[in-house]
Amino acid sequence: MERILKGSRIAEIDARCISDGIDSKMLMQNAGSSVAKAVKSDLGNKKNAKGVVVCGGGNNGGDGFVAATDLIREGIAVKVFYAAPFEKFGDDTAHYFTLLKEQKESQLFHLNIDNSESEQLFTQAVAEASFVIDAIFGTGLHGKEIYGQARKLIEIINGAHQGKVYAVDIPSGIDSDNGKVLGTAVKADMTVTFGCKKLGLVNFPGAAYAGRVKVADIGIPASYFEPYEQIFEPSMDWVAQKLPCREAWTYKHRVGKLLVVAGSIGLTGAAAMTCTSAMRAGAGLVTLVCPWELNSILEQKLTEVMTYPVNQTEDVSIHYDSLDEIVALSKDFDALAVGPGVSKNSQTIRLIRELLKRVKKPTVLDADGLAAIYGPREVQNDGQQDYSHVTITPHTGELALILGMDSIRLEDRYDINRKASQKYNLISVLKGARTLITSPEGTTLVNHTGDWALATAGTGDILTGIIGALLCQGMGNFDSAACGVYIQGMASDMVSRHTSKTSMVATDLLEGIKKVFLKIEKIKYKE
């Protein structure tokens, strides 16, 4: 898996490297050269390309000076604009500015945006450039909004430039700790980041400004990143490795039995999608507990799934009186998937809450079932409950309800999801752009598969079924959640190429799941 850190860690890591004898000038040289290399790779043989490099006075600016020097030595015409006076440069930045100045072909301009002539020169250079390198701010920018000259420079880059924009480490204006846009930010086509990805590059809204992210090794040993937050991005190889191997002689009871508690009047589709996706994701046997009046409908919808009708409320949802029966039934199953389409009837929510208390088998809890944690008001929660066997899969609105918040901002998703996981001692899967999977110990995976094609009704029910299927096959709660999210996202990526992202519906994912497992089996079984 690929490591991700909050950007605020980088200054401390750099300081440790330097105190351990790693040359800071070498790190800056490697960083700037990696940016130049990315630009040259994109340009190919276009020797007539013209570039603009915009530098601040910090280390990010020093990286920009190095990149400009490398490009000039390759015969590429570059104009370098620097936004801070030389006397405010750090030692390493000043060193590489001096080396750049010694290049005969160098064109350097001190920016003063309050001067109309300076602003016009910069605007024209940006408009005519084949590429722009943004080296204004690095990972040290946090909290406060950008103002003054820096804000104007960013607005000119975004408004006047027609070619590619390369960001050094992180687009200027993005908080590297969380992805927040600090008033305005450079809209990059590619970000060359150093050592590892930063959370601000993968969490939205920052991710929307980063473009393609390339991680460059600049000579910092991986061990320097380990003491910090445990955030990772999973890969297909990691997912394939985590999924259980199946013996040639296995059978349906051995590969996993899933009990699904789902459905109410008007919401039979949610129950059906959860069950069907569980079968597609490898569950050997799936049984659906549903209100008796809906049994005939669900029997017609589901061919491979068994149904188990129970007492119902006046709202045609599962009644609390069915609790003992469901508890007894659960003894024959390996895991549970609870919640899709169950309704928020108080009797039903009371049933789910008691079910979570009495059945300690691995359980994925979604949709209406999440109300067992946060409400409704007429169903009282009698104190802290043990949820250590539970995986929840809320969207931001549901997680806000669980935590008693009005809303959750995009840039706060990581911290809030970690808070929820620790508070309730469970795995929390915060769905959305770059779904987050967090354990009570604080480990978080940021999922990069899937996109806005998944913003359609029923995709959450499909995810619940996939995670439930992995749970009943014996995978741990965290790995099941992470792999389930990855599989669903990849299924969407594969299917939406043919349906379009706009036209994809949740049941299209069932075809995509098959394609994903074809890829997984080629890796896992060397087929």
Predicted confidence (pLDDT) per residue in 239-297, tens digit: 999 999 998 899 999 999 999 999 999 999 999 999 999 999 999 999 999 999 999 99
Q: What is the mean pLDDT of the chain?
A: 94
Closest CA to 62 of 91, 102, 101, 104: 91
Is pLDDT above 50 for 379? no
Specify whether the CB–CB gap between 420 and 436 falls below 8 A: no
- Do the strands 390-392 and 444-446 form a parallel or antiparallel pair, or are they unpaired? unpaired
Burial class (CB in 10 A: 0-12, 13-18, 19+), 523: middle
Of the candidate ranges 27-36, 329-338, 352-361, 379-388, the one whose mean pLDDT is the lowest: 379-388
CA–CA gap between residue 236 and residue 486 (Å, rounded): 8
CA–CA gap between residue 361 and residue 390 (Å, rounded): 8
pLDDT at 209: 97
Q: DSSP letters along 205-251, please? A: TTHHHH-EEEEE--S--GGGGTTS--EEE--HHHHHHHSPP--TT--
CA–CA gap between residue 338 and residue 316 (Å, rounded): 17
Is pLDDT above 70 for 380? no
Cβ atoms within 10 Å, residue 311: 15
Burial class (CB in 10 A: 0-12, 13-18, 19+), 359: buried
Write down the residue that tokens 């008007």 correspond to: 266
Is pLDDT above 50 for 377? no
Is pLDDT above 70 for 381? no
The separation between the first and the last C-alpha atoms of the chain, rounded to the nearest angstrom, is: 23
Q: Is the peptide bond before 376 cis (omega within 30 degrees of 0)?
A: yes
pLDDT at 473: 97
pLDDT digits (tens, 9 = 90+) for 316-340: 999 999 999 999 999 999 999 999 9
Predicted confidence band of residue 405 (pLDDT cuts 50, 70, 90): very high
pLDDT at 384: 65
Closest CA to 282 of 330, 243, 332, 331: 243
pLDDT above 90 covers a percentage of the chain that reads 90
pLDDT digits (tens, 9 = 90+) for 44-91: 877 688 999 999 999 999 999 999 999 999 999 999 999 998 998 999
Query: For the CA atoms of the chain, what is the radius of gyration?
Result: 27
Predicted confidence band of residue 191 (pLDDT cuts 50, 70, 90): very high
Predicted confidence band of residue 527 (pLDDT cuts 50, 70, 90): low
Q: Is the peptide bond before 205 cis (omega within 30 degrees of 0)?
A: yes
Cβ atoms within 10 Å, residue 411: 20
CATH of domain 2-229: 3.40.50.10260
In CATH, what is the architecture of 236-524? 3-Layer(aba) Sandwich (3.40)
- Do the strands 427-430 and 390-392 form a parallel or antiparallel pair, or are they unpaired? parallel
pTM for this one?
Answer: 0.94
Predicted confidence band of residue 457 (pLDDT cuts 50, 70, 90): very high
Distances (CA, A) of 161 to 39, 67, 79, 153: 16, 19, 14, 11
Is pLDDT above 90 for 214? yes
The domain spans of the chain are: 2-229, 236-524
Distances (CA, A) of 28 to 168, 295, 323: 11, 67, 64
Name 102's Cβ contacts closer than 8 Å, sequence gap at least 6: none
- Give the DSSP H or E segment for 24: helix 24-43
Closest CA to 13 of 230, 231, 229, 225: 225
Specify whether the CB–CB gap between 482 and 437 falls below 8 A: yes
Cβ atoms within 10 Å, residue 423: 14
Specify whether the CB–CB gap between 392 and 155 falls below 8 A: no
Of the candidate ranges 11-20, 109-118, 121-130, 250-259, the one whose mean pLDDT is the lowest: 109-118
CA–CA gap between residue 510 and residue 281 (Å, rounded): 9
Alpha carbon of residue 25 to chain centroid? 33
Sheet holding 164-168, edge to edge: 107-110, 77-82, 50-55, 131-135, 164-168, 190-194, 212-216
What token pair was written down for 269? 């589709």
Closest CA to 56 of 149, 137, 121: 137
Average pLDDT on 106-130 reads 91
What token pair was written down for 276? 């069907």
